[in-house]
Structure 1
Amino acid sequence: MLALLGRWTADHRMLVLAVWAVIALAGAVFGGTVYDRTQSVDGLRPDVESSVARERIDRLAPEGERVVAVISGRDFNATALVDNASRVMFDIRAIPGVAKVTDAYTAGSGQVSSDNQSSLVTVELKPSLSDEEALAVADKVKAALRRIDAPRVLVGGELLAERTFGEQAVKDAAIGEGVALVVLYGVLAVVLRGIVAGSLPLVAALGTVAATLLALAGLAGAVPVSEYAVNVVTLLGLGLAVDYSLLVLTRFREERAANRKAALPDLLATTVATAGRAVLVSGLAVGAALAGLFAFAEPLLAAMALGGALVVCLATAAGLTLVPALIAVAHRRIPALAVPTRKQRPGVLARLAASAQRRPAAVALGVTAGLVLLSLPLLHLTLANSDARSLPTKSEERLAYEAVERDFAKWTTQPVTVLIEGGAGDAPVVPVLERIRALTGEAELDLRTGLPAGVTVVDLHPAGSGERLVGQVRAIDAQVPVLVAGPAAELIDARESTRSRLPIAIAVIVVATAILLFALTRSVVVPVKALCMNVLTLVATLGALVAVFQWGWGSALLGFEPWGALDITTPLLLFVFIFGLSMDYEVFLLARIKEEWDARTGDDRAANDRAVLAGITATGPVVTTAALAIGIVFLGFALGDLIAVKEIGVGMTVAVLLDVTVVRGLLLPATMSLLGTANWWRPGLKPGGTLRSRGSLPHRDVTSGR
């Protein structure tokens, strides 16, 4: 089937290119509108307790968005400042859409710092405003606050921070993609020894990204899509498209060098039948990994999984159709593959593999111990929801957040909100309120007013850990329903939701990838070993991220300030992406190793080692180049200012470097050498026996060039 596709693509190359050109043009024209249609996406499932409580409270007593400002640098009691600020406060109250202004100048809030050098202003907007209307009103409030005659006025709040996050996401994507593409083109042109050859993977990558943006723009009309998801999905699309293009292009050069008299359709038929099979299996493996995100059922992850599935399909389609068509058009401009000589040193991966095969036990033990050691910081992992601290260091919204946390924490601590189904004076509710009083030590509880009869809402302001209080309130034995909301409750629910559904996600990914690898290798042992190595890559990468982003090791070099935690979605996304891309390189290598094993005579350990080394020698250069290329792509995104995106960029760069050098270059050949012919065992195969696949390709000694 794949051979027929390769031949058809060669014969209809202009039609294939025309279809992709139309898709890319449509993506360039309409795909950019996805950034105008993105929105804030909830990271929690709607059925968890905090989400249910929040939705009910918002329905009973809706609250509007808030704009906060810190006025500092001048004595609060200065007459000129008091007069000026008071006039501004009354002007703000007159702005249509403003519901309430709380300040120390006209409302007597008392929210003044201990040194009298700063004060806090909170402006609540009307809850009936739409997102666009609320932002318009917030901008008017911000402009009014700028008129205050003080050395420093910092304006922020969740609404403005979310908009800045979206704008920064677009900016980071433009910078990241621009830098990555420029550097990537230079590297590819050098490695592939030609301007045209170096441009082919980039053309495929740009076509994939344009098609992805077009698909996401259509997707945004059906499901919520966040700016963060667009960044991550385009990042994945760039990497996969370049990887698949390199694999197909390199295999074409091999086939052309080995069959110089073969017609172009025959060469592309063989190329797509071999490299295309690896591309297809890899795409299915990455898609299966992304399907694991659906198991978590959070709206943000579900939207990202859907977008990721789209980009994987498009990158795979580009690898199987667009790249062969580009090769068919430009094959005369693609330099011939250099013929290895006996004096020429083999590639990096081949040298690492040969070294590992000489001392397989020591290498396997040493590499495993090193990866486990690198993963130890993971034991101290702290997860939290990103807030304004994930914005660039000099962002006004972040500076405002930090000023509020520093000088006004006692007034702005996020409350633990308790919803009780029953009136405050009802017999079943009274003991609940008494128990809450005992937990908090408060004589009077902050009961909300203006609620319908039969519902009680209490706002608690814990002196210590809000998470501890949430657990204590939820443990109260009550005769009426008691629900807890608030940021602390949401974080607890997010962690619990992840913990409870993680086994399902792991099962989906492991089963799907194991089946795909079995179909590729006809072995039970190889898939199990591959899954174990992927896990080692994942935990080592997460350990490194904890050290960098949570502890701050090297933060100055990367240009950010740590905030003591990783975003709660980062490990999940990295779990999926690392697992998928690790399988990417595993498939590239195993597909060729399996070809060499099927083509060789002999069923002993030596034949196994020769097949492994020959497969890595043949595929090593393309895997190394692909890793370098995708590392450049991820590093481009690591240059961005959003910490959440930087975590993904740095994490994927570390994972690729570890996976391609340490895991695939050393651990893979070492373990395959230790296992010998047992690598190829499957049920029904006698110990020590081997069943060759039908239709094995004729063997070529790639290590000697023959």
Structure 2
Amino acid sequence: MLSTLARTATRRPLTVIALWVLFLLLGFGLGTGVFGRLSDNVPEVPGTESEAAAEYLDRVDPSGDSITAVVEGTAVTDPALRTQVEKAVADVRKIAGVAAVPDPYATPGLTAEDGRALLVPVALKGGLDDDAEERAVNDVADRIKQIDAPEVHVSGGPLLGLQIGEKAQEDVRNAELISLPVVLALLLVVFGGLRSAALPLVIAVSGIAGAFLALFLFSSVTDISVYAIQVTTMLGLGLAVDYALLMLVRFREERRTTEDVVEAVHRTVAAAGRTVLFSGLTVAVSLTGLLVFPSVFLRSMGLAVAAVVVVDMLAAVTLLPALLTRFGRKIPPAKDRPESEEGRVFARLARFSARNRIAVLAVIVPALLVLALPVTGMRINLGDAQQLPSSTEARQLYDTVDAHFPPGTGVSPITVVLKPGTDAGTADRIRALSPRAESRDLPGGTTVVELPPTGSVDGDAATGLVKQVRELRGDAPVEVTGPAARLVDFRAMLADRAPWAALTVLAGIFVLLFAFTGSVLIPLRTIATTLLSLGAALGAVVWVFQDGHLAGLLGAEGLGSLSLTAPPLIIAIAFGLAMDYELFILARMREARRVSGDDQEAVVTGLRRSGRVVTCAALLLAVVFGAFMTGGFSPILQIGLGLTLAVLIDATVVRMLLVPATMALLGRRAWWAPKPLRRVHDRFGLREEGTTAPRVPTNV
């Protein structure tokens, strides 16, 4: 397959380039429409009680969503302000799609005790289509913001999703403006020429277009989370640069041995292209673990990110060869350096680790385990507007309410659905769980009881209340929904499916690494060392964002928990990225071993030839992830920091020290496999066939 792709790219480079230009136009034209389709309904899990109850209410409850406004900064009893507020409330009631707006001066709890703020909740009619709801929400927000007060903020309900979507689009744009110039500058340092440095950015732009287009297509059949934009874009950009860097470095090496550009491209695709193919497959397999979960959010993220990885992989083995065929003659070959100077730092590290393998393992393994310790106390929660930057309207509304109103104000209640057949005693016991319980009857004999929790929407009090209701109901037809109930069900889903997800990913990675190496022990060693770096990175995220250590340096704060989106995505993506660097190194080790037959020297040679590529790739990826951490959205900060640390720890401590130490410890046994599996590999295993001379300089 790779040879076919290489021949197509070199025979018809302009056609291949034209097809990718069309793809880019689709991605940046049609694909950007996804920004208007983003959803913040992350914790929904089909088939759970909370989701079933929510769907039932959608069918029988005529009420719709609601949004909230807060007016603050002056005395709410000021006659001029009161006149404006009452006029605005009257006008909002007349807007099409609005069901009810209570008088904030006559309704208890809507005016702050300090007299400096008031709330204006707006209930929308049920059954509105998306366009009608959006018009109503925008008209309400526009009218309320005409109130002349120091601070007027409107958010919540469907407006919150729109505001987060706008923030996501702004963050992606800013991150690209920051990361692309920095990446280009680093590539100029690496390659020493603008033409060579620009080619990885072309592939990176293809990755971004692929991210947008993949998300847009998936948004037609499923919800796409507000987090998906940043995550898929940062990964699409980072992996594209990684793959292009690997291919371009190999092309410059091949130019050392041949003047024929087409032949150099074929050799590059046959060697480095095979590594890119396996790397893309391992990242995609790592993300298949997300498909095991019934969560729409996790499944859509897994599919979208896997699609982006495939786009990056295809761009690296089709678009880049076509570009090299057209412009490769002007790209200089790698500098000819004596073998003693070629990657000498990485060779010294490899020899040091091999000679002192026991000491290296005795120091690094416990250190990584200590870094991973905070994971044992990790908590995941829905989070609230505190996760947003202070510049966002939703956060400003949250801060204003928190400053002027009692704790728990505005927190979504526990919604208990008492279906026909529920006895009065059960209903009374459920109402007694909260002194502020409210009931309303629906058509058909259904009663809805709302239990306002103390504290936050995802705190222990709220989740404990959900569990109390479920224990009290017995066999009565009672269901619980609301954000807290969804969190309880989401946590249960994670606990139930996580072992199966892990088994799926580890089995897939094992099979791919066995197909790549023909070894049984190397996949096991790779999985073990990767889990160490992943645990250390996730532990640091818990220490910073949950416990609050050094969070201020990142423009964040300790929230007492992580966003429920962060740990699954960090684990899935970081595991795949770690496989990237492992394959980069293993490919070179296999080449050296095939030439020399010396297992120990193959480790040193493999690291000598791949160390610079792996280090540069990790640094570039860290720059990309770091740029996406400038937006201030806590879940993205958590994911960005986790992936940055995972990449840097894996590419340095693990791949440069643990890999040579463990390979030296295993010796020739590292490449061992039982005879039956050896025969399977001989028949079906894929190899990265190099065509170069035994020693090929890799410095660029």
- 2:618·2:648 contact (CA, 8 Å) conserved in 1? yes
- 1:595·1:697 contact (CA, 8 Å) conserved in 2? no
Q: Using the alignment, how far apart are the partners of 1:55 and 1:528 within structure 2?
A: 45
Q: Using the alignment, how far apart are the partners of 2:590 and 2:46 within structure 1?
A: 47
Amino acid at match of 1:59: R
- 2:46·2:294 contact (CA, 8 Å) conserved in 1? no
Aligned to 1:246: 245
- 1:75·1:116 contact (CA, 8 Å) conserved in 2? yes
- 1:393·1:561 contact (CA, 8 Å) conserved in 2? no
Amino acid at match of 2:613: V
- Secondary structure of 1:65's aligned partner: strand
**Are the structure 2 counterparts of residues 61 and 29 from structure 1 closer, same or farther at C-alpha, using a change threshold of 3 Å?**
closer
Q: How far 1:2 moved relative to its partner?
A: 2.7
Aligned to 2:126: 127
Aligned to 2:179: 180
**Are the structure 2 counterparts of residues 654 and 62 from structure 1 closer, same or farther at C-alpha, using a change threshold of 3 Å?**
farther
RMSD: 2.7
Gaps of 5+ in 2: 456-460
Alpha-carbon deviations, 1:456-476, whole Å to 9, x = none?
Answer: 322123447011121122123
Q: Within 5 Å, give how 1:524-543 maps onto structure 2.
A: 524-543=520-539
Q: Within 5 Å, give how 1:489-528 maps onto structure 2.
A: 489-528=485-524
Aligned to 2:426: 432
Return 640-649 or 678-687, whichever deviates more: 678-687
**Are the structure 2 counterparts of residues 554 and 264 from structure 1 closer, same or farther at C-alpha, using a change threshold of 3 Å?**
same
Aligned to 1:29: 29
Alpha-carbon deviations, 1:271-330, whole Å to 9, x = none?
Answer: 211111111111111111122111112112222222122211111111111111222222
Q: Within 5 Å, give how 1:582-597 maps onto structure 2.
A: 582-597=578-593
Alpha-carbon deviations, 1:20-48, whole Å to 9, x = none?
Answer: 22322333333323323444455322211
**Which residue among 562, 567, 584 is the counterpart of 1:566?**
562
**Are the structure 2 counterparts of residues 89 and 571 from structure 1 closer, same or farther at C-alpha, using a change threshold of 3 Å?**
same
Q: Using the alignment, how far apart are the partners of 1:436 and 1:22 within structure 2?
A: 60
Q: Using the alignment, how far apart are the partners of 2:663 and 2:527 within structure 1?
A: 14
Aligned to 2:542: 546
**Are the structure 2 counterparts of residues 98 and 26 from structure 1 closer, same or farther at C-alpha, using a change threshold of 3 Å?**
closer
Alpha-carbon deviations, 1:477-524, whole Å to 9, x = none?
Answer: 623222111211111111111111111211111111110000111000
Q: Using the alignment, how far apart are the partners of 1:693 and 1:66 within structure 2?
A: 57
Amino acid at match of 2:513: L
Amino acid at match of 1:632: V
**Are the structure 2 counterparts of residues 124 and 611 from structure 1 closer, same or farther at C-alpha, using a change threshold of 3 Å?**
same
Amino acid at match of 2:391: K
Return 408-417 or 297-306, whichever deviates more: 408-417
Return 507-516 or 6-15, whichever deviates more: 6-15
Q: How far 1:411 moved relative to its partner?
A: 4.4
Aligned to 2:458: none
Q: Using the alignment, how far apart are the partners of 2:384 and 2:62 within structure 1?
A: 22
Amino acid at match of 2:547: W
Alpha-carbon deviations, 1:99-149, whole Å to 9, x = none?
Answer: 1112432x3334332322222221112123233333322333233333444
- Report the TM-score when normalising by structure 2: 0.92
Q: Using the alignment, how far apart are the partners of 1:136 and 1:679 within structure 2?
A: 64
- 2:270·2:690 contact (CA, 8 Å) conserved in 1? no
Q: Using the alignment, how far apart are the partners of 2:38 and 2:73 within structure 1?
A: 38
Q: How far 1:209 moved relative to its partner?
A: 2.4
**Are the structure 2 counterparts of residues 322 and 555 from structure 1 closer, same or farther at C-alpha, using a change threshold of 3 Å?**
same
Q: How far 1:530 moved relative to its partner?
A: 0.7
- Secondary structure of 2:101's aligned partner: strand
Q: Within 5 Å, give how 1:259-408 maps onto structure 2.
A: 259-260=257-258, 263-341=260-338, 344=341, 346=343, 348-406=345-403, 407-408=405-406
Say yes or no: does 1:488 pair with 2:480.
no
Amino acid at match of 1:533: T
Q: Using the alignment, how far apart are the partners of 2:193 and 2:573 within structure 1?
A: 31
Q: Using the alignment, how far apart are the partners of 1:327 and 1:431 within structure 2?
A: 77
**Are the structure 2 counterparts of residues 448 and 346 from structure 1 closer, same or farther at C-alpha, using a change threshold of 3 Å?**
same
Q: Using the alignment, how far apart are the partners of 2:116 and 2:698 within structure 1?
A: 77
- 1:534·1:579 contact (CA, 8 Å) conserved in 2? yes
Aligned to 1:461: 452
Amino acid at match of 1:431: G
Alpha-carbon deviations, 1:355-384, whole Å to 9, x = none?
Answer: 212211111121111111111222222211
Aligned to 1:20: 20
- 2:2·2:274 contact (CA, 8 Å) conserved in 1? yes
**Count of residues in Structure 1 that have an aligned counterpart in Structure 2:** 688
Say yes or no: does 1:421 pair with 2:419.
yes
- Secondary structure of 1:68's aligned partner: strand
Q: Using the alignment, how far apart are the partners of 2:346 and 2:400 within structure 1?
A: 51
Aligned to 2:552: 556
Q: How far 1:589 moved relative to its partner?
A: 0.7
Aligned to 1:71: 71
Q: How far 1:390 moved relative to its partner?
A: 2.4
Amino acid at match of 1:113: A
- Identity, in percent, stands at 38
Q: How far 1:422 moved relative to its partner?
A: 2.5
- 2:250·2:272 contact (CA, 8 Å) conserved in 1? yes
Aligned to 1:599: 595
Q: How far 1:333 moved relative to its partner?
A: 1.7
- 2:253·2:696 contact (CA, 8 Å) conserved in 1? no
Q: Using the alignment, how far apart are the partners of 1:67 and 1:8 within structure 2?
A: 55
Aligned to 2:53: 53
- Secondary structure of 1:44's aligned partner: coil
Q: How far 1:266 moved relative to its partner?
A: 2.9
Q: Using the alignment, how far apart are the partners of 1:215 and 1:499 within structure 2?
A: 29
**Which residue among 599, 603, 607 is the counterpart of 1:612?**
603
Q: Using the alignment, how far apart are the partners of 1:282 and 1:696 within structure 2?
A: 17
- Secondary structure of 2:227's aligned partner: helix
Q: Using the alignment, how far apart are the partners of 2:303 and 2:121 within structure 1?
A: 38
**Are the structure 2 counterparts of residues 552 and 351 from structure 1 closer, same or farther at C-alpha, using a change threshold of 3 Å?**
farther
Amino acid at match of 2:551: S
Aligned to 1:622: 613
**Are the structure 2 counterparts of residues 704 and 18 from structure 1 closer, same or farther at C-alpha, using a change threshold of 3 Å?**
closer
Q: Using the alignment, how far apart are the partners of 1:305 and 1:93 within structure 2?
A: 43
Aligned to 1:604: none
Q: Using the alignment, how far apart are the partners of 2:581 and 2:508 within structure 1?
A: 17
Amino acid at match of 1:301: L
Say yes or no: does 1:115 pair with 2:114.
yes
Return 643-652 or 504-513, whichever deviates more: 643-652
Q: How far 1:697 moved relative to its partner?
A: 6.5
Say yes or no: does 1:6 pair with 2:6.
yes
Q: Using the alignment, how far apart are the partners of 1:119 and 1:699 within structure 2?
A: 77
**Are the structure 2 counterparts of residues 382 and 596 from structure 1 closer, same or farther at C-alpha, using a change threshold of 3 Å?**
same
- 1:161·1:388 contact (CA, 8 Å) conserved in 2? no
- 2:242·2:617 contact (CA, 8 Å) conserved in 1? yes
Say yes or no: does 1:164 pair with 2:163.
yes
Gaps of 5+ in 1: 602-606
Amino acid at match of 2:414: V
**Are the structure 2 counterparts of residues 327 and 345 from structure 1 closer, same or farther at C-alpha, using a change threshold of 3 Å?**
closer
Q: Using the alignment, how far apart are the partners of 2:294 and 2:348 within structure 1?
A: 45
Q: Using the alignment, how far apart are the partners of 1:204 and 1:39 within structure 2?
A: 29
Alpha-carbon deviations, 1:163-183, whole Å to 9, x = none?
Answer: 110001011111112211111
Amino acid at match of 1:217: F
- 2:9·2:321 contact (CA, 8 Å) conserved in 1? yes
Q: Using the alignment, how far apart are the partners of 1:643 and 1:347 within structure 2?
A: 41
Amino acid at match of 1:420: L
**Which residue among 620, 634, 638 is the counterpart of 1:647?**
638
Say yes or no: does 1:700 pair with 2:687.
no
**Which residue among 398, 419, 438 is the counterpart of 1:446?**
438
Q: How far 1:267 moved relative to its partner?
A: 2.5
**Are the structure 2 counterparts of residues 83 and 241 from structure 1 closer, same or farther at C-alpha, using a change threshold of 3 Å?**
closer
